[in-house]
A and B are shown apart, each in its own frame.
Chain A
Amino acid sequence: MSSPAPQPTTGPTPAAAPTTTPADAAEAVVVRGVERIFVGAKGATVTALTGIDLTVHDGEFVSLIGPSGCGKSTLLRLIADLDEPTEGDIRVFGRTARQARVDQAYGIAFQQAGLLPWRSVAANIELPLQLHGVSSADRKARVAELVELVGLTDFARHYPDQLSGGMQQRVAIARSLAERPRLLLMDEPFGALDEMTRERMQTELLRIRAETGAAVVFVTHSIPEAVYLSDRVVVMSPRPGRITDEIDVRLGEAAERGEDLREDAAFFAGVTAVREALHGPQAAAAAGAARGVDVR
């Protein structure tokens, strides 16, 4: 840690603060001792997050899971620099969260697709490139790649109100990938979709992630979703929001995970482990028994 070795992946910015160690710079996200306290109307305070320590390795898929109000979305917003921590330090590829945002080190997708309704699918995907002064020809080429990646080539000229919820979310994912970020931040992107669409989107996300090799921080409150997608599931609990457990669930390389995995014993084991971490072992046992009756 203290060796003066050159920093391996600081990226284009020289702004990495001197406190950053080379090891940190190799990680996608490093969160240390983060606390976020919201001050209410009458001076009442709500501790949304406290004592958060989290490291996301480059190329790793990490899910944040927990009940409503556990601060998982707040944590994602802090990493994205859409909000600032009251205490603690956040590094994204060795840079401050702010610098990472300015450098466009991450792509982001929200629960609402958040497409601009007056722009076509292609123009929506193009938006970040356009804002950052990419030439028209390059934009066109990149948009063509991205609509193909998310399977919407035939819909590039359509408007968001002509698309289903699942298709809109695919556009939002394509948009988040526009600048080839090494980190994807996703805040319940499939939360508003029906179960069938949701499972298809999960499989697609795994494929896209395998193709891009990006690290992903994925907020969800679905246990099967977290287990199916993640290399590691971070379990959080509310009042105050904190990390209570981390479970390695890597069920094989992202590219090789298919629909069969959803019926695999390892998948159920992962689901049970996460459920136990969330609710305690008794609840998990009861639910597990019920599931056995349901499935067979």
Chain B
Amino acid sequence: MTGLPDAAIATQLTPPSSAAAKRRRGRDGPWRRFARLVLPPVALFIVLVLLVELVVVSLGIPPFVLASPSAIWAQLVQYAPQVLQATLATGLNALIGLVIGAVIGVVLAIVASLIRAIDGMLAPVVAAVAVVPIVAVAPVLYTMFGSTSEVSRIIIASIAAFVPVFLNTLRGLRQVRPVHRDLMRSYSASSWQETRSVTIPSALPHFFTGLRIASSLAVISALVAEYFGGPRQGLGSAITTAAASSAYARAWAFVIGAILLGLVFFALTSLIERLASRHR
């Protein structure tokens, strides 16, 4: 036993289960918290939709200026299978691009963290890639890979995803605290043991932060790349097609599909990030 009076221990920490639970749930139960977090934005959204509907109908605004929410909703219901299909097509490109970009980003970050010369070589290249709007190379890639191939879109998504994953992971790999390094040295740990026990766990939350940022970029890039040509499937193609045939409400219906796709990517990667950085 400690040799301490129980009161002394008690002052060091309120009962841990409740303290931990408090951090996880806030002061209220999960439903109260859900209501507090989710209801206000939903209410705001509904109010805005109603307001737009009211303005469009009462002022008689033509659909090519602003489609009314009810018309968009009708189109969304009518074209639900097409919206879903287009969302899946774009989502698949974004997902493959995200995975490829993340893998390359992690591998290069590891190499750069180990070899300073490589880091020096990569830094300016990555900076250049980061500032170029990568969808701008889409037309070139369509010529390279043919207009029936999805490869160009996947490449664009992966390049967009690569940058934040690389930068954040590299930063994470350098976050090992000096006290941990001293500790591993005092244990005469091998460099592999140090990598596995300290370096990778220190870097993981940073990697997931990069992945969260990359997920949105991958979706946006895969979608915008469709504006520049290639096969006529996916949300970007559908939006341009609908707009070109003056079906503005349908174009907005596909935009809603794009919003939902982006939210799914963002929510999933945010969840992973939170799980990975629970104990920091």
Give chain A's interface residues, CB within 8 Å of chain B: 77, 80-82, 101-102, 104, 106, 108, 110, 112, 114, 116-118, 127-128, 131-132, 148, 150-151, 154-155, 158-164, 166-167, 197, 200, 203-204, 207
**Chain B residues, Cβ within 8 Å of A160:** 279
Given known contacts A118-B201, A127-B197, A159-B279, A101 and B19 CB-to-CB distance under 8 angstroms: no
Given known contacts A116-B201, A117-B279, A127-B197, A108 and B3 CB-to-CB distance under 8 angstroms: no
Taken residue by residue from 1 to 20, chain B's Cβ proximity to chain A (1 for < 8 Å, 0 otherwise) reads as 11110001100110010011
**Chain A residues, Cβ within 8 Å of B36:** none
- Give Cα A161–Cα B193 distance, bound, in whole angstroms: 24
Given known contacts A114-B177, A116-B198, A151-B2, A131 and B280 CB-to-CB distance under 8 angstroms: no
Q: How far is the CB of B276 from chain A (nearest CB, A)?
A: 9
7 A-B pairs with the lowest CB-CB distances in the bound complex, closest first: A151-B2, A114-B179, A159-B279, A164-B12, A118-B201, A108-B186, A112-B179
**Chain B residues, Cβ within 8 Å of A166:** 12
Is the Cβ of A204 less than 8 Å from the Cβ of B279? no
Is the Cβ of B188 less than 8 Å from the Cβ of A204? no
Other-chain contact of A131, B16, B182, B197 (Cβ < 8 Å): B197
**Chain A residues, Cβ within 8 Å of B9:** 151
**Chain A residues, Cβ within 8 Å of B31:** none
Given known contacts A116-B198, A162-B16, A164-B13, A82 and B182 CB-to-CB distance under 8 angstroms: yes
Is the Cβ of A117 less than 8 Å from the Cβ of B3? no
Taken residue by residue from 37 to 59, chain B's Cβ proximity to chain A (1 for < 8 Å, 0 otherwise) reads as 00000000000000000000000
Residue of B nearest to A207 (CB): B3
Given known contacts A104-B187, A131-B187, A163-B13, A116 and B2 CB-to-CB distance under 8 angstroms: no
B185 adjacent to chain A (CB < 8 Å): yes
- Give Cα A166–Cα B9 distance, bound, in whole angstroms: 10
Q: How far is the CB of B265 from chain A (nearest CB, A)?
A: 25
Is the Cβ of A101 less than 8 Å from the Cβ of B188? yes
Residue of A nearest to B3 (CB): A207
Other-chain contact of B2, A128, A150, A161 (Cβ < 8 Å): A150
Q: How far is the CB of A181 from chain B (nearest CB, A)?
A: 10
Contacts A/B (CB < 8 Å), 27 sampled: A82-B185, A101-B185, A101-B188, A104-B187, A114-B177, A114-B179, A114-B180, A116-B180, A116-B201, A118-B201, A131-B193, A131-B197, A132-B187, A148-B1, A151-B3, A151-B9, A155-B16, A160-B279, A162-B13, A162-B16, A163-B13, A164-B13, A166-B12, A167-B12, A197-B12, A200-B4, A204-B3
- Give Cα A128–Cα B186 distance, bound, in whole angstroms: 10
B189 adjacent to chain A (CB < 8 Å): yes
- Give Cα A117–Cα B198 distance, bound, in whole angstroms: 10
- Give Cα A167–Cα B182 distance, bound, in whole angstroms: 21
Q: How far is the CB of A30 from chain B (nearest CB, A)?
A: 19
B118 adjacent to chain A (CB < 8 Å): no
Most buried by A among B2, B188, B280: B2
Taken residue by residue from 165 to 191, chain B's Cβ proximity to chain A (1 for < 8 Å, 0 otherwise) reads as 000000000000101101101111100
- Give Cα A151–Cα B6 distance, bound, in whole angstroms: 10
- Give Cα A203–Cα B5 distance, bound, in whole angstroms: 13
